Structure 1
Amino acid sequence: MLSLLYWNHGERNLGDLLNENICQELFSLKIAPPPAITYKNLLNFEASFIGSTLGLLIMPKQLESNMQWQMRVRAAAPIKIWGSGFLMNPLWEENQLTRKIEVYALRGKKTKERLENITKVNFKNIPLADPGILASKLIKKQQKKYDFGIIPHHSEVHLPIFKQLTQVLNNAIFIDVHGDVLESLQKIAQCKIILSSALHGLIIADSFGIPNARILATNTMRVEQNYKFIDYYSAYDLEGHLQFDLNQVNFNTLDSTYLQKEIQKNYPISRTMIKEKQKQLLECFPY
């Protein structure tokens, strides 16, 4: 069983749990139950795939001069990186990683440039893609049942504004990222449009070729975690993506038909682009 570095503590989360389904269904690889994420345990993880996990591998200032820790880092086997990224901008000067790394794919250009600055290694020929775009390979093709699917980030599921949006839009479904992974994928695939404040809600929609837009509700996702969105879209040479701030939307005048047409018209990611990313990821999987 593979010891994989990913967020799986406390509540369930669709994007992170995709790690388990993709490894098992596409590569016949089982994931070991993850231990608590501590600096000591970081030395034991074998790989990192889906998720904003790379910030965990940045060496804290207090450990840079710790010779015992440095010896442990040198003795540990490299951790394999396949599509991971950083969550947010650096919090301090980043000089060293807590692990040696073997890079097979990275989420986007910002992650690539940041790792190059830290490691002084050129990752020029490394594929840039988030493995979440393989989600469409986990289920059978679905018939469309909903005009809109609403997917809040796991930290925002409780906010009334998302349920309100679901009620206002025509034929919309609220998709809880805490639910069963395959059932959630089926619901997403049954939608004509996806509106999500969660990055992997958008990535999964891309995987199925579903036009989508990012929706904003809190400063956590609007500002603090904006980095990972920019990183993901940079892999497609896009500077940004269509987005709406729900706090500035007048729900009384929201036109579902107009919104659907605008999102479909402005959706910039083609099926060809997705298929190429999927092909690259399947070919460079480290196991």
Structure 2
Amino acid sequence: MIFGDEYRPVQKNRVNLFWTGTYKGEITEHENLGDYLSLVVVEYMLKQRGLDLNAQIDRTEYLYAIGSIIGFGLQDATIWGSGLLRKENAFRLVRSKLDIRAVRGPYTKEYLNKMGFNCPEIYGDPAVLMPIIYSCNAEKRYSCSIVLHHSSGLREHIDELKDMGLHYIEIKTTNYKHFVDEIAQSDMVISSALHGIILAEAYGVPTVYLKDIEINQDFKFDDYYSGTGRVQYEYARTIDEAIKIKPVNNLPKLGNMCSALMETFPYDLWPGGGTYVLECLIIVQSDLLLLYSCYIFVITYIYNINSIVQ
């Protein structure tokens, strides 16, 4: 079962994409967008090679992409851009085997390294690829928008937030195009949801992180921000602070991060995907060619020495 959900059984001879969501195995219109984007991005990447997420393979594989989901599954898995929710979750991996291609940020890498995993210094939440998947040139309509974490207690006060002049954007949706349009139409975005921050920055919109003390998910924000070169960053504890605080205008340049994520996508899990395996074969072939060249050199050298002696 995927994350212990009886309605989401593991599919044998498939690549099982793990993401948090669904109701009784069905995708609803009220999914947390940050988690749902895992499906959107992975399917887009596969489409570039004419591959299908549901294609049959000769083994059963597990793929973790977007989300703070490392440590929540018991399977040996391939990691592409996932992160830890908290550092303590790394201890759940004591018996796991992970094939890590990229992680969300340096904090996740640090604790995976401490658990003995070989984790490359390749960072990025795959949601940063969304502008490649969906381009948006919407005109500005809102001076300040707010996105709340799907579990935030502030969700009970949405009408009050609107009365304060804030435009509310709902993150519990699968309509990513509408969500992105709303983000792009904003001069700035206040968000207590990580993917509200990530998507706004990906589309070039200044942000303010609203720290939700009740949820306490600092680790994943530290992870993302440090992965984009920001070890220290400002945040607001209240809505009033968030409105007054200067938004992050010096947005990170995500081009290199996007390139690294696209280059490390695990196409080799699917038949005909091949990139990773092909590169390994090329390396092996190059090594064999070098070895053969050395062999010829040694034989020729010995033959010349014998000729001189004789």
Shorter-chain TM range is 0.7 to 0.9
Letter paired with 1:177: I
Distance 2:199 2:95 in 1: 31
Is 1:79–2:77 an aligned residue pair?
yes
Equivalences for residues 10-29 of structure 1 within 5 A: 10=23, 11-28=30-47
Query: Would you say how many aligned residue pairs link Structure 1 and Structure 2?
Result: 239
CA RMSD of superposed structures (Å): 2.7
Does the C-alpha gap of structure 1 residues 216 and 167 become closer, same or farther in structure 2, counting only changes over 3 Å?
farther
Letter paired with 1:174: Y
Letter paired with 1:269: L
Distance 1:206 1:162 in 2: 23
Find the counterpart in structure 2 of residue 119 from structure 1: 116
Letter paired with 1:283: E
Q: Is the 8 A contact 2:17 2:39 kept in 1?
A: no
- TM-score under structure 2 normalisation? 0.69
Equivalences for residues 1-287 of structure 1 within 5 A: 2-10=15-23, 11-28=30-47, 30-31=52-53, 46-57=62-73, 78-90=76-88, 94=91, 96-121=93-118, 123=119, 125-143=120-138, 144-156=140-152, 159-169=155-165, 172-179=166-173, 180-220=175-215, 223=216, 225-246=217-238, 249=240, 262-263=246-247, 266-270=248-252, 273-287=253-267
Letter paired with 2:232: G
Q: Is the 8 A contact 1:104 1:126 kept in 2?
A: no
Q: Is the 8 A contact 1:163 1:174 kept in 2?
A: no
Q: Is the 8 A contact 2:46 2:53 kept in 1?
A: no
Does the C-alpha gap of structure 1 residues 103 and 275 become closer, same or farther in structure 2, counting only changes over 3 Å?
same
Q: Is the 8 A contact 1:46 1:79 kept in 2?
A: yes
Letter paired with 2:106: K
**Unaligned ranges ≥5, structure 1:** 33-42, 60-72
Aligned-pair CA distance for 1:44: 5.8
Aligned-pair CA distance for 1:55: 2.1
**Unaligned ranges ≥5, structure 2:** 1-13, 24-29, 268-310
Q: Larger C-alpha radius of gyration, 1 or 2?
A: 2
Find the counterpart in structure 2 of residue 62 from structure 1: none
Q: Is the 8 A contact 1:3 1:45 kept in 2?
A: yes
The 3-state SS of whatever aligns with 2:152 is coil
Aligned-pair CA distance for 1:275: 1.3
| 1:36-86, Cα deviation, whole Å (9 max, x unpaired) | xxxxxxx965200000011214x7xxxxxxxxxxxxx7xxxx521000000
| 1:59-115, Cα deviation, whole Å (9 max, x unpaired) | 7xxxxxxxxxxxxx7xxxx52100000001316x82744431111111111100111
- Once structures 1 and 2 are overlaid, which stretch shifts more, 238-247 or 143-152? 238-247
Distance 1:22 1:174 in 2: 25
Letter paired with 2:147: I
Distance 1:283 1:163 in 2: 44
Letter paired with 1:166: K
Aligned-pair CA distance for 1:27: 2.9
Find the counterpart in structure 2 of residue 69 from structure 1: none
Distance 2:41 2:158 in 1: 28
Distance 2:188 2:106 in 1: 27
